Amino acid sequence: MLGARLIRVLVIAPAVPVVTLAQLNLPSAQFWHGLRPVLYVAVGLCLLATVHELGSFVSYFGHLGALRSYDQDVRALLSATLSRVEAGTGIDWRSVGVSAYCLRGVPWRRRLIMIDELRLGSGPMPGQPPLRPGKGVVGVACKRSEGVCSNWEDYVKVSIAMGRQRWERQDKEARFGLTWGELLRTESLTWVSAFPVYSRTAKLVGVVAVDAPTDLSGADVSRVIRDLAASMGDVGSPPRSWWSYVGRRNG
């Protein structure tokens, strides 16, 4: 999505000044008379950009019903999971975070993009690096295609006590694929548990995760998170224009 926007900016940025200067006859009408092919290209690029933006606008509102339905389904699943984690652990619901990610990108450059997150507490948001398979608890669960649960608070404490140089000499898997800076940004996390999400065709499509300041390794809590993963697989991947919808919803 960001790449597409960047391409549009790079296309429009040189075209708009060209058309504007030609309309104002700057530096002169004679100057632009000899550059008509350039003007035609610039006008064409502006027209294409306008049509594309209009198409995106129409597409967004055309999918609005599906977007709202998907939003309600995901929110209901995250809310139910948060409630079940609270009931199973006795932890204050305001300290629990539940999130869902989808796997995107080409096979050699996959990324885990957050679909949505439910975190009702008013405290600081835990820092999370850009995720991909093999990075962080969520990324490791995706790469291994199995559930991963970690007492992250203890892991960070041990890592800091170890010192940066010694920690960085460990293999990538022992570092959860993180850099030292990324590790420090996750210091506020306590326990994290993540499970891969499989579609109805048994294809790996994402990951769900729960974080809370309590032990999440018990069988009951693991069952809750696996249920969320199965339900997200049934709900399916986000519809078109989902991230535009989320941006408007959260804005």
pLDDT given at position 201: 94
Question: Is 248 within a domain?
Answer: no
Q: Answer whether residue 123 is part of any domain.
A: yes
Rounded to two decimals, what is the model's pTM?
0.75
On the question of pLDDT at 38 being above 80, the answer is no
For residues 147 and 227, membership in a common domain is answered with: yes
Clarify whether residues 85 and 198 are in a common domain. Answer: yes
Residue-wise pLDDT tens digits, 182-208:
999 999 899 999 999 999 999 999 999
69 and 34, same structural domain? no
Closest Cα partner for 182 from 131, 128, 139, 115? 128
CATH of the domain at 215: 3.30.450.40
Q: What share of the chain has pLDDT > 70, as a percent?
A: 73
Q: How large is the average pLDDT for residues 219-244?
A: 91
Average pLDDT, the chain: 84
- What's the pLDDT score for residue 2? 46
**Which pLDDT score is estimated for 129?**
75
Check pLDDT > 70 for residue 106.
yes
Residues 6+ apart with CB under 8 A from 242: 67, 70, 115
Give CA angle at 153 (187, 193), nearest 5°: 105
89 vs 32: which has the higher pLDDT: 89
Q: Are residues 38 and 98 in the same domain?
A: no
pLDDT at residue 98 is higher than 70: yes
Q: Indicate whether 46 and 126 sit together in one domain.
A: no
Task: Note the pLDDT tens digit of each residue in 116-163.
Answer: 999 987 555 566 778 999 999 999 999 999 999 999 999 999 999 999
Tell me the range of 11-25, 39-53, 78-92 where mean pLDDT is highest. 78-92
The predicted structure's pLDDT at residue 107: 81
The pairing of beta strand 111-119 with beta strand 204-212: unpaired
User: What share of the chain has pLDDT > 90, as a percent?
Assistant: 58
**Domain annotation covers residue 245:** no
Average pLDDT over residues 108-112: 90
| Domain count of the fold of the chain | 2
What is the residue whose two structure tokens read 């058309």? 19
Distance CA 76, CA 187 (A): 29
pLDDT of 64: 77
Pick from 59-73, 126-140, 153-167, 232-246 the range whose average pLDDT is largest. 153-167
**Which residue, 243, 250, 240, 197, is CA-closest to 58?**
240
pLDDT for the residue numbered 231: 96
The DSSP code for 130 is P
Beta strands at 148-151 and 111-119: parallel, antiparallel or unpaired:
unpaired
* DSSP for 50-71, written as a single string: HHHHHHHHHHHHHTHHHHHHHH
Note down the domain range covering 172. Answer: 65-239
Angle of helix 242-250 versus helix 36-62 axis, rounded to 10: 70
Final residue belonging to a domain, choices 31, 62, 93: 62
The alpha carbon torsion through 66, 72, 77, 78 (nearest 10 deg) reads: 120
Residue 89 lies in a domain: yes
Same domain, 101 and 77: yes
Residue 185 pLDDT: 92
Instruction: Answer yes or no: is 251 within a domain.
Output: no
